[in-house]
């Protein structure tokens, strides 16, 4: 009865209906949620470098192993693409949505199979197939077909920029290891009387076409191209045309002594300079006395600041190189000035909301800055350079793992000498072998420090790195490993550490025994390798840990 009374009472009770308000949708970019998630994730410094994550036995630990791994992986990519090109019918079951062209490579079109149409030429230009595009254009001309001014202009830009050659070979376009081995992908000198000059003559003469041609002639400089570039520059001025700023940047980069003349012309024509103009001025500046060089840099930056031109990474690197004191200039006063310049540059980067990538060589600034900081033995600058590089707001990263290894090798070698062993152990474990391979110079120095200040956790890591880098089989490394094991005071180890100590000792003995057995079976005698006598001596020293 009570339950029925409560239910009926509830039915007749009047209560206000809650109002539901639906908020307006927040406008977001397609990647905003992904960016928010990414901001919560950092670098896992306990894992291998993301470029080398593989089966644990295959993860490289030294610089040589990394290079071999990198090349082998990318040669495998090349092989897969060749198979996909030569036998496309084997890969007809295509369910990618959206379709991913990178996984469906095609052979370069044969000029004999092309009809010579404007549509084909547009496709070749977009694909940056320079040589075939030129052949297609010549076929179109032979057929007496006219193409639109826009297509001809696009072809002209591509041909001038690439100097009538493909920018990258097919196999090197997406394979950095192969591209890195080809130091001369493009010819250094301008192709005389080529299709670029023909297109220039048949294209409408505008400030843009003149500027493109002059910049290309200076990019692939030779006596012929520089002479023609100056000829076209004077021709522009005679026609009362205003050159683009890229023209002056190119001319200054090839004829340094005349850069003042070009700067005056820029001012006269009221052309807006850019950062490359500033960089060209630094490259062209004379090497006078140190104070004169310092004054020149200050005036240059202030002058360009009036035109709202700010320095970039390339500018900073050029400034540091230009102001690096020579052997006869190294005085405490000059060193102080030089360090203050680097300090000011780092402050600008630290205060920036974002450090953007602009040029392929931008990351070289970090190597230059760290080298200077180490050379000047300035611990604060060393820390700040590394902190700026690893900061989330910095988008400038080393493209080549070789450069990254070089950077961190300098960083680790400096801290290895300066920091207490406890602090350096943390830095070492974060960077070796993740970004810096195991190397003998660092290992030998750390062994000498650990013999004076034994620390089991660090000793264990050094020995493990010697194992994974395949260096432990060499007699000098094996002796250092034995010395480190002898310094460990087992009475101060916890039960778990004592078990790990015994496991590591037995592991080393097994590795040495297997190595000696392999050499005996294959009749190989390697100079400097550990021998049976060394193993027997080690077993006697640690007999109480061996069953």
From the CB of residue 410, how many other CB atoms can be counted at a distance below 10 Å?
20
Residue whose entry in the numeric block shows the structure tokens 């395949």: 470
What is the distance between the alpha carbons of residues 346 and 384, in angstroms, rounded to a whole number? 7
Q: Identify the sign of the CA torsion 405, 406, 410, 411.
A: negative
DSSP state of 62: S
- Report d(CA 36, CA 528) in Å as an integer: 54
Q: Given CA atoms 43, 45, 47, 52 in this order, what sign does their dihedral have?
A: positive
pLDDT at position 235 is 94
Give the pair of three-digit tokens for residue 356. Answer: 């953007």
- Concatenate the DSSP letters of all residues of 73-123 into one string: HHHHHHHHHHHHHH-GGGG-----SS--GGGS--PPPPGGG----HHHHHH
CA angle 48, 53, 43 (to 5 degrees): 45
pLDDT given at position 64: 85
Give the other-Cβ count within 10 Å of 265's Cβ: 16
The answer to whether the CB of 167 falls within 8 A of the CB of 185 is yes
pLDDT for 174: 53
Give the residue among 425, 417, 433, 513 at the shortest CA–CA distance from 466: 433
Cα separations (Å) of 111 from 60, 133, 419? 44, 9, 64
Q: Give me the numbers of helices (H) and strands (E) for the chain, helices first please.
A: 26, 0
* Burial class of residue 373 (count of CB atoms within 10 Å of its CB; 0-12, 13-18, 19+): buried
Report how far residue 279's alpha carbon sits from residue 439's, in angstroms, rounded to the nearest whole number.
Answer: 37
* Per-residue confidence (pLDDT) for residue 171, from 0 to 100: 43
DSSP single-letter state for residue 355: B
Quick one: which of 439, 330, 407, 444 has its CA closest to 376?
A: 330
Question: How big is the CA angle at 480 (ends 479 and 483), to the nearest 5 degrees?
Answer: 90
- What phi-psi label fits residue 524: left (phi over 0), alpha (psi between -120 and 50 degrees) or beta? beta
Q: What is the mean pLDDT of each run of 10 residues along the chain (547 residues)?
A: 50 65 86 88 80 78 84 82 78 72 70 81 87 88 87 92 72 53 57 90 92 94 92 94 94 84 92 93 84 91 92 92 87 91 95 88 92 94 96 88 89 94 94 89 93 94 92 91 93 93 94 87 74 89 83
The per-residue pLDDT for 233 is 95
Q: What is the pLDDT of residue 181?
A: 46
Tell which residue, 427, 435, 350, has the closest CA to residue 394.
350
Dihedral angle sign, alpha carbons of residues 459, 464, 465, 471? positive
For tokens 């070089």, the residue is 406
CA distance 184 to 461: 42
The answer to whether 203 and 153 are in contact (CB under 8 A) is yes
Helices (H), 88-202: 118-126, 130-142, 149-162, 170-173, 176-181, 195-202
Distance separating alpha carbons of residues 526 and 476, to the nearest angstrom: 13
> Which residues, other chains included, contact 409 with Cβ-Cβ below 8 Å and sequence gap of 6+?
436, 439, 442
Q: What is the gyration radius of the CA atoms in the chain, in angstroms?
A: 33
| Res 100: pLDDT | 75
- CB within 8 Å of 14: residues ≥ 6 apart: none
Residue 167 is predicted with a pLDDT of 67
| Beta strand extents in 26-184 (DSSP E only) | none
Q: Give the pLDDT score at 170.
A: 44
Contacts (Cβ under 8 Å, ≥6 apart) of 59: 48, 52, 53
């Amino acid at each position: 009865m009570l339950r029925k009374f409560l239910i009926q009472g509830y039915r007749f009770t009047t209560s206000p209906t809650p109002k539901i308000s639906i908020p307006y949708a927040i406008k977001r970019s397609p990647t905003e949620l992904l960016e928010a998630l990414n901001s919560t994730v950092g670098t896992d410094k306990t894992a291998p470098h993301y470029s080398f994550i593989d089966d644990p036995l295959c993860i490289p630990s030294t610089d040589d192993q990394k290079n071999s791994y990198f090349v082998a992986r990318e040669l495998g990519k090349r092989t897969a693409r060749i198979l996909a090109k030569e036998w496309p019918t084997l890969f007809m079951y295509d369910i990618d949505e959206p379709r991913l062209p990178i996984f469906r490579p095609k052979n370069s079109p044969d000029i004999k199979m092309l009809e010579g149409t404007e549509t084909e030429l547009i496709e070749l230009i977009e694909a940056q197939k320079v040589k075939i595009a030129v052949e297609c254009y010549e076929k179109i001309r032979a057929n007496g077909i006219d193409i639109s001014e826009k297509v001809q202009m696009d072809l002209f830009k591509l041909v001038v920029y690439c100097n009538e050659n493909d920018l990258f070979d097919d196999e090197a376009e997406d394979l950095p290891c192969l591209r890195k081995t080809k130091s001369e992908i493009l010819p250094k000198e301008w192709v005389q009387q080529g299709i670029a000059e023909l297109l220039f003559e048949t294209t409408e003469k505008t400030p843009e076409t003149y500027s493109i041609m002059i910049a290309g002639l200076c990019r692939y400089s030779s006596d012929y191209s520089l002479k023609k570039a100056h000829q076209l520059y004077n021709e522009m001025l005679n026609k009362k045309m205003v050159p683009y700023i890229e023209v002056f940047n190119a001319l200054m980069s090839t004829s340094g002594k005349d850069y003042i003349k070009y700067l005056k012309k820029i001012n006269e024509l009221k052309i807006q300079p850019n950062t490359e103009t500033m960089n060209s001025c630094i490259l062209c500046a004379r090497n006078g006395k140190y104070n004169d060089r310092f004054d020149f840099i200050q005036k240059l930056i202030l002058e360009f600041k009036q035109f709202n031109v700010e320095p970039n990474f390339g500018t900073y690197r050029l400034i540091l190189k230009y102001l690096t004191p020579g052997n006869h200039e190294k005085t405490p006063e000059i060193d102080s000035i030089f360090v203050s310049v680097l300090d000011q540059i780092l402050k600008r980067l630290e205060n920036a909301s974002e450090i953007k990538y602009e040029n392929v060589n931008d990351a070289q600034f970090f190597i230059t800055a760290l080298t200077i900081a180490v050379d000047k033995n300035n611990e604060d600058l060393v820390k700040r350079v590394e902190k700026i590089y690893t900061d989330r707001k910095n988008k400038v990263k080393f493209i080549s793992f070789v450069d990254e290894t070089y950077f961190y090798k300098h960083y680790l070698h400096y801290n290895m000498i300066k920091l207490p062993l406890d602090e350096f152990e943390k830095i070492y474990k974060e960077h070796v072998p993740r970004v810096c391979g195991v190397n003998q110079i660092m290992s030998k120095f750390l062994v000498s420090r650990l013999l004076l200040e034994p620390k089991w956790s660090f000793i264990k890591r050094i020995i493990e790195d010697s194992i994974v880098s395949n260096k432990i089989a060499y007699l000098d490394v094996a002796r250092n490993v034995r010395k480190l094991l002898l310094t460990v005071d087992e009475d101060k180890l916890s039960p778990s550490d004592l078990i790990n100590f015994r496991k590591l000792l037995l592991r080393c003995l097994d590795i040495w025994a297997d190595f000696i057995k392999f050499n005996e079976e294959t009749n190989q005698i390697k100079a400097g390798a550990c021998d049976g006598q060394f193993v027997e001596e080690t077993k006697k020293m640690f007999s109480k840990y061996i069953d």
